[in-house]
Amino acid sequence: MKSKLINRFDTKKAVIGIVGLGYVGLPLVLRYCQVGYKVLAFDIDQDKIDSLNKGLSYIEHIPSALVAEAIRKNLEPTTDFSRAGEVDAIIICVPTPLNKYREPDISYVIKTAESLAPYLRPGQVISLESTTYPGTTEEELLPIAESGGLEVGKDIFLVYSPEREDPGNLEYTTKTIPKICGGHTSACKEVGIKLYEQVIDKVVPVSTTKTAEMTKLLENIHRAVNIGLVNEMKIVADKMDIDIHEVIRAAATKPFGFVPYHPGPGLGGHCIPIDPFYLTWKAREYGLHTRFIELAGEVNSSMPDYVVSKITSALNNKQKSVNGSKILVIGIAYKKNVDDMRESPSVFIMEKLRDLGADVQYSDPHVPVFPKMREHFFNLSSIKLEKETIVDFDCVLIGTDHDKINYGLICDHAQLIVDARGRYLENYDHVYKA
């Protein structure tokens, strides 16, 4: 069974099924299409399926032309999970958020696997890409995959290969970012490597699925802890009247032993603010307390409150209160040059300012209309940045430093600026660094 499946990958006769068509799944879909595989793209969101069938992309950095070309050639989007039996590979790219208690919510993974289970057949490989705690593939997916009598490693193959997408990063793509791959058995790993080496320049094998799961968490915990450190340093430096951004630029001239991390208004995206808590939760099963991770989480999650306090202080210096002030937030995506709103600190700041009585508006060239979100609601559209608009606001917050923003225009005409991204290098009387 293993040899037959590997041969289907090598000859491009294999049909690839990808479940979850967001920031991870859609680029992977297009990559397999580009090299000549037929792809069935699964999602429960009918709007996404309709957009793809029309040849339209719903993700800003993915051109519609690529989608249209794939639809013409070898892409078939569907909401019909019963078609899973038609594919040779099933790659699961669904969300793994935290619940309200900051515990892992892998319900999307489990529900997806259960939806696919009745249609699994011999000669398929299942790969989970969603970030999760070590042991998920073995503890949750393995029993579901074998529930119909198939034996993993013999009849069907199971791997974990964490996503490493970086939306907006033009230097690295799905093709060029090395791919970690761990299998439940050596045969599973062999099949998984063959699945991914068709579309990824470098596949990095690891011994087990748990190792692959832990690798992904370490990558993101490394960032979360270091960002927590530099955010804490920013608060200390601010009290000492030191520009932390100047300090970082100076420290980065050291050619060894230092990696620059940059402070901000908080962590955003679907990985860095969430993934570390997957390990924190799992570590409790072993009686362990992940102090570094939790401390970094406390620091990073407190940053929106810190920014709001800086806005309050800046307005007070102008003899104004937050209540009743008009505040313009520049950039509400979680990082520069993307339209991704997941866990954006700008949104948390907007909510806090609104609760304090501020009239909050935003301007973001990548987010023309505030999207529907599970936990946040604003009936707003992006404001066009013009002199007459800017002068009308009591305070302008630099929340996300998109390259498309005219920072000179803002500096020239804003009454007050709170810069949470270190965009303004020079000192201005009306610019407060947060």
Catalytic residues: 271
3 state DSSP class of 186: helix
Residue 359 has φ and ψ, to the nearest 5°, of: -90, 105
Write out the DSSP string of 64-94: HHHHHHHHHHTEEEES-GGGGGG-SEEEE--
Cβ atoms of 156 and 150 closer than 8 Å: yes
141 burial class (0-12, 13-18, 19+ CB within 10 angstroms)?
A: buried
Write out the DSSP string of 273-301: TTHHHHHHHHHHTTT---HHHHHHHHHHH
Q: In angstroms, how far is the first alpha carbon of the chain from the final one? A: 59
Q: Which residues contact 417 (CB under 8 A, 6 or more apart)?
A: 395, 396, 397, 398, 410, 411, 424, 428, 430, 431, 432
The residues that bridge with 359 in the sheet, in sequence order, are 326
For residue 180, which of 219, 146, 153, 123 has the smallest C-alpha distance?
Answer: 219
Cβ atoms of 273 and 218 closer than 8 Å: no
Cβ atoms of 395 and 349 closer than 8 Å: no
Cβ atoms of 91 and 129 closer than 8 Å: yes
| Dist. CA 393–CA 86, nearest whole Å | 57
Cα–Cα separations (whole angstroms), residue 180 to 88, 129, 187, 432:
20, 10, 16, 43
Instruction: Determine the Cα angle at 277 with ends 330 and 24, to 5°.
Output: 60
Cβ atoms of 434 and 306 closer than 8 Å: yes
